[in-house]
Structure 1
């Protein structure tokens, strides 16, 4: 899943070397925290959050086979 998020986000940003995905796993959920360069945050979120929503949709669909809930947080 981490590789999927990186594959989606890296072509969108100007500084792909700053893309980092951290994973935190609990009993009932998995949280992925996506960190990008401060100047790229707008590109990842998109107008009215459309790009972020699309990324979340793909990640949630890919993780639907798991028994845990999946969350994606976007930050710098």
Structure 2
């Protein structure tokens, strides 16, 4: 079984939703239990990526988490969308 390139998966899922796809950047960081993918997009695209009541973001998280390796030592995946509020 092959490993899924999670960053490429996120990029392929998110890009069609954006009006400014050139501003998309994904940063990866690791902790003890999680691999965190932070998605940064243009301020105008944040709402399109989150969706009404967070439905789009929840669907993206479901697909990405389902694509991770099920090995016992594989880290869980966190998908964060930077909403530029902080």
Counterpart Cα distance in 2 of 1:64 and 1:46: 27
Unaligned runs of 5+ in 2: 1-5
Q: Say which one has the larger Rg.
A: 2
Indicate the RMSD between aligned Cα atoms, in angstroms: 1.1
Note the C-alpha offset of 1:64. 4.4
Q: Which stretches of structure 1, 4 residues or longer, exceed 6 Å deviation after superposition?
A: none
Deviations 1:36-70 (A, max 9, x none): 00000000000000000000000000014252111
Q: Whose helix proportion is higher, 1 or 2? A: 1
With normalisation by structure 2, the TM-score equals 0.83
Distance in 2 (CA, whole Å) between partners of 1:57 and 1:64 is 14
| Structure with the higher fraction of residues in strand conformation | 1
Structure 1: which 5+ residue stretches go unaligned? none
Q: Residue 78 of structure 2: which of 50, 71, 74 is its match?
A: 71
Q: How many residues were matched structurally?
A: 76
Alignment of structure 1 residues 1-76 onto 2, 5 Å: 1-66=6-71, 67-75=74-82, 76=84
